[in-house]
């Protein structure tokens, strides 16, 4: 059986936006090993439309000598969107319509990993589709920017593990609390974008 594992870089004040402006001072071998392991165990990457468009605008023409370039371009990718009709980046498909049903079917036999895509991650948490939430909490207050949990429904989670890196980054892994129903929510359907 497969799963959905979501991972995000996040600041102490909950910001996930533009990690390239605050994240790299904390990236080291410990974090690289965690990120590499999460990428390595995923059969496919699950992306929201905005993250997909950012990645598709960069990776196809990125440095071919960088091993991450080949990994990103060669990986199977699913982009959640009802406004995107065609995903032109290599090995990409669009997931639309009844997204919850589509993702439930996909994760029956695949490990899906998400990168970024905060709106999608929030929605999947509310729908109880995320099996593991990996937060790499950086010891920095960014002060402004898009937050992972700005608004939305209550979603109970259980802490599975907590690791402190030498840089002060916390790697927190959460799973949905057992025996709770998906949250009744008015949050935005990620496929609406």
From residue 144, alpha-carbon distances to 11, 58, 147, 154, 178 in Å are 10, 25, 8, 23, 34
pTM reported for the whole predicted model: 0.87
- Please, what CATH class does the domain formed by 3-192 belong to? alpha beta
Inter-residue contact 81 to 115 (CB < 8 Å): no
Cα–Cα dist 92/57, whole Å: 13
Question: Using one digit for the tens of pLDDT, what is the confidence trace for 102-153?
Answer: 999 999 999 999 988 889 999 999 999 999 999 999 999 999 999 988 777 8
Question: Using one digit for the tens of pLDDT, what is the confidence trace for 143-191?
Answer: 999 998 877 788 999 999 999 999 999 999 999 998 655 555 445 556 5
């Amino acid at each position: 059986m497969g799963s959905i594992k979501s991972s995000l870089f996040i600041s102490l004040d909950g910001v996930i936006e533009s990690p390239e402006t605050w994240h790299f001072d904390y990236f080291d071998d410990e974090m690289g090993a965690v990120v590499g392991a999460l990428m390595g165990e995923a059969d496919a990457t699950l992306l929201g439309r905005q993250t997909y468009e950012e990645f598709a605008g960069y990776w196809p023409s990125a440095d071919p000598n960088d091993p991450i370039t080949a990994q990103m371009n060669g990986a199977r990718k699913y982009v959640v969107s009802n406004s995107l009709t065609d995903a032109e980046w290599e090995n990409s498909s669009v997931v639309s319509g009844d997204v919850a049903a589509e993702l439930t079917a996909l994760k029956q036999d695949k490990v899906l990993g998400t990168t970024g895509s905060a709106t999608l991650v929030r929605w999947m948490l509310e729908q109880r589709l995320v099996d593991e939430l990996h937060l790499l909490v950086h010891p920095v207050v960014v002060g402004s920017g898009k937050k992972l949990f700005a608004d939305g429904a209550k979603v109970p989670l259980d802490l599975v593990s907590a690791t402190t890196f030498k840089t002060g980054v916390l790697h927190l892994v959460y799973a949905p609390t057992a025996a709770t129903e998906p949250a009744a929510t008015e949050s935005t359907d990620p496929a609406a974008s």
